[in-house]
Structure 1
């Protein structure tokens, strides 16, 4: 396993940022790490890369104990933090040459790295002359320069325009063929286009750890319906294929079904059989976005 996290907890004064978190990842996996702001994503990434220590738990990267040997682990990890730390007074090529010296990387690798992240036209400039999107590319170049086995990317596509987004997503997917990539994002389409697997974290706890293919095969659909009169909760159970339901307010119900069949006709039949009228109805299949909202709301 490239990454193995076991029972990791992290407390800042009175706040528990991570609560008994465990997961693992293998070579060749691209994992989307999702969660609302303050959920613990960046804290977990900093622990994985050896920048901070947890209060409890174990972290191994490529069988190296990160807590005991952070410098050894960092040699095989590429890390792009949320707030991209760059020496902005340096030229792009100069900065990468500086990093190549630190990582003892042959400087002949710099040109191919610059080309790979789409920086060729900007490589002669100082970093502070670049747009935010191009500065983000410099950070990504720095993360992959030493050909790490594991890539930890915290919001890697921040500041990129739509064309740059497509290019960097393709690069992340390509890198994931022979590396382990864990990256955080708030863009669900990004996860759906790039990832093999999804981790969703809320208040320091892992709520979902599933392959994206499993989530996409989900046959659940949610119908939001408003009747003209109040109904008893047990009436909802008369409907077929009901997974869950919630009374939002007064006569409005949110009902989730597990079925390939469109369940709206069944809801209409139900209303007629029980002498009800439908005042409003809308439906949507469960997507990663609706699942995320449902779990993290």
Structure 2
């Protein structure tokens, strides 16, 4: 029986920034319904990796496939098939919550009744109905984060890429975010969650990948791995890197 095509496949992905290697020969796959936690200390290459996956940054070498298709040659695949929430949600302060969703929907090819249905369902899902007409510029940081997440999910992408999504969220909102990620996975959406919080990884992820100095140093399923064991793996990788640099 033929194995299903991964939702995401990275092959020998590399990228230099400011003349130095930020990501080196990174290869990963992610299947439908999987949640991958991406861990690494500052400067490990997480944000560069996510930017390449989301189509915002072109790799120097290597290949990215979405559902088996090379989206470096077909950028529209990233626009239709990927939802991306950067660490700082890119919002226009003069637009309302509804206007943001409608603008993002049109950018992804939605229109008419399809756009209206997607907009209303996403407002409900992210608990934003009560602030439909509120300007983004007056939202709290937590509300802005939820709006950014709503924009990322509006078009029902195959892959959702989240960079520190729990930033500025209160404990109730963090719990709601975890529930949402689990629901997305249950629907078959693949999710990449980049975070510095080990508790977030152990709470919602199936797998963990640890980057250090732009290289993949650990990639394993989380089944049977507790917070303390993962913390030790993370510490050992960082410690070995520091000793090699000394």
TM over 0.5: yes
Say if 2:66 and 2:77, in contact at 8 Å, map to a contact too: no
Write out per-residue CA displacement over residues 230-258 of structure 1, whole angstroms, 9 at most, x where no aligned residue. xxxxxxxxxxxxxxxxxxxxxxxxxxxxx
Q: What is the DSSP-based 3-state SS (H/G/I as helix, E as strand, rest coil) of the residue aligned with 2:24? A: strand
Write out per-residue CA displacement over residues 2-52 of structure 1, whole angstroms, 9 at most, x where no aligned residue. 010011111124311011111101001011011011111111111112211
* Structure 1 stretches of 4+ moved >3 Å: none
Higher helix share: 2
| C-alpha separation in 2, matches of 1:97 and 1:174 | 24
Write out per-residue CA displacement over residues 96-132 of structure 1, whole angstroms, 9 at most, x where no aligned residue. 1122222233212211101111212222211111110
1:199 aligns with 2:141: no
1:108 aligns with 2:50: no
Displacement after TM superposition at 1:73 (Å): 2.6
Larger radius of gyration: 1
* Structure 2 unaligned regions, length at least 5: 1-5, 240-246
Match of residue 92 from structure 2: 87
| C-alpha separation in 2, matches of 1:109 and 1:140 | 14
Q: Indicate the larger mover: 63-72 or 78-87.
A: 63-72
Q: What is the DSSP-based 3-state SS (H/G/I as helix, E as strand, rest coil) of the residue aligned with 2:9? A: strand
Write out per-residue CA displacement over residues 127-163 of structure 1, whole angstroms, 9 at most, x where no aligned residue. 1111100100000000000000111111111110111
Match of residue 160 from structure 1: 169
Q: What is the DSSP-based 3-state SS (H/G/I as helix, E as strand, rest coil) of the residue aligned with 1:24? A: strand
For residues 283-294 of structure 1, what are the structure 2 equivalents within 5 Å?
286-294=228-236
1:117 aligns with 2:59: no
| C-alpha separation in 2, matches of 1:9 and 1:215 | 30
1:42 aligns with 2:68: no
Say if 1:65 and 1:73, in contact at 8 Å, map to a contact too: no
Match of residue 99 from structure 1: 104
Displacement after TM superposition at 1:286 (Å): 4.1
Aligned residues: 229
* Structure 1 unaligned regions, length at least 5: 217-284
1:131 aligns with 2:130: no
Match of residue 296 from structure 1: 238
TM-score by length of 2: 0.89
Displacement after TM superposition at 1:173 (Å): 1.3
Q: 1:214 to 1:9 in 2, by over 3 A?
A: farther
Q: 1:160 to 1:69 in 2, by over 3 A?
A: same
TM-score by length of 1: 0.74
Q: Indicate the larger mover: 199-208 or 110-119.
A: 110-119
Higher RCO (CA < 8 A, seq sep 6+) = 2
